[in-house]
Amino acid sequence: MTRRTIPKAEDLHRDKWGDVATAAAVGITPEHDDRPVPEPDDCAVVAAVVIQFWGYDGSWEQVPNLYLDEGDRPECDWRRWGLSFYDGPPIPRDAPRSERRISYSFERPRYDSGGVLIETAVSFRGGGGYSALCRVRRDAEGWYVDGATITGLS
């Protein structure tokens, strides 16, 4: 399968006419066919979404929070992908804006014969945010985001 270039989250969010969202929303349904389900690698899947969809490359001065579904939370060495996340106590919602951080959250990945479906969300320091459903696939180079659709705005 050839990798497609998909829009980043900020482009989907700013898309007034729906053209970008429509182009990105390919393959956002479960896939069950004769292809084998890939070996789970939750850390690599989350890293692919953070980098390719949310656009975080690990270079920000104030690192974001990362919340993973509490079920079987993976222990990840984020440095493997050049990432770092805030590793301190939770920051209260009523904290001054200068103390708040961008936060990414992820539900447990759902693996199928097409790769993975994963629900994710971002919350901005000002309190707003949005959520998305991403299709992540694996090829010889690793995991990559192959489609996404915005599922909610706040």
In a domain, 1, yes or no: no
Distance of CA 93 to the CA centre of its chain: 22
- Is 63 strand, coil or helix? coil
User: Residue 26 belongs to what domain range?
Assistant: 9-153
> For residue 4, is it within any domain?
no
Cα separation, 49 vs 83, whole angstroms: 12
**Burial zone of 84 (CB within 10 Å; 0-12 exposed, 13-18 middle, 19+ buried):** middle
Half-sphere exposure at residue 117, Cβ-oriented, CA atoms within 13 angstroms: 14
Total domain count, the chain: 1
- 2 is a domain residue: no
Q: Which helix (H) or strand (E) holds 13?
A: helix 9-14
d(CA 147, CA 5): 9
pLDDT at 5: 62
pTM of the model: 0.80
Whether 3 is covered by a domain: the verdict is no
65: nearest Cα among 103, 94, 98 = 103
Q: Which residues contact 4 (CB under 8 A, 6 or more apart)?
A: 26, 146, 147
E strands, the chain, where?
65-68, 103-106, 110-112, 115-123, 129-139, 142-153
pLDDT tens digit sequence for 96-144: 877 778 889 999 999 999 899 999 998 887 677 888 999 999 999 999 9
φ, ψ dihedrals at 133, nearest 5°: -110, 125
Asked if pLDDT for residue 51 goes beyond 90, the answer is: yes
pLDDT of residue 17: 45
